[in-house]
Amino acid sequence: MKSVLFLHMQFFNLHTHKFTNDAAALELVNQYPWEFDDTIPQYSIGIHPWYINEERLASDLNCIEEKLQLKQCLALGECGLDKRIEVPMALQIDVFEKQIAFAEKYQKPLVLHLVAAFDELLEIKKRLKISVPIIIHGFSKNEQVARQLIANGFYLSFGKYLLQNPEMKEVFQSIPNDRFFLETDTIEATLEEVYTLAAEYKGMTLAEMKAQVEENWLAVFDGVDL
């Protein structure tokens, strides 16, 4: 059923903050609980570590759990950890782990924002025995970090840095074809531009790249009813 759905779509956008309503794409639109828009057809929802607000935390978490039970909510995120902000790491981890528990309860994939906290993420994944797929969006690190994450079962999503940093070419080429996604996040470039460059780097046609991302989508999101 989901394969049939995908025949009508050319692209899958793993992570975007801008709903374009493009009929040629399935857009996983990032939503925050405190500004939720119920007109967006498919979305992820989560508490970004930048925007943790302890006074609002209980209501934010309640909203996330409520939305995760809806078929329109395909994933939990973006959530995660960021060592380069002033929010205390202990608080970040607490909020992150509460969201992981929801993802496990409702069996929805996790879309992560992760900055300088790879060791912490690996420890949490092992300790909590996370079973749902985990996708690190906006990947921008080197091949060594990518290999470590892939070896630990993560998926990596590429967009802005793939377009802006030529050094990401070799990193992207090193990623197994069944372990990546593509996204626009907040950039002005189109998703087709991201796909086109990704296809060039992988030595694929655009059609082959679409087919590969579709296959990856089905592997990660096939348990999510549409």
Contact 159, 138 (CB under 8 A): yes
Q: Please tell me whether 113 is known to bind a ligand.
A: yes
Q: Which two tokens stand for residue 4?
A: 């049939």
22 is in an annotated binding site: no
Which stretches of the chain are DSSP H helices?
A: 2-6, 57-68, 89-106, 118-128, 143-151, 160-164, 168-174, 191-202, 206-221
Sheet with strand 11-16: strands edge to edge: 11-16, 25-31, 43-45, 73-82, 110-115, 134-136, 155-158, 180-182
d(CA 30, CA 10): 20
Residue 15 assigned to a binding site? no
Q: What are phi and psi of 57, to 5 degrees?
A: -60, -45
Q: CA geometry: angle at 154 spanning 153 and 156, to 5°?
A: 145
- Strands 43-45 and 180-182, sheet pairing: unpaired
- Binding-site residues, in ranges, read 78, 113, 137, 185
- Binding-site residues for a divalent metal cation, in ranges, read 78, 113, 137, 185
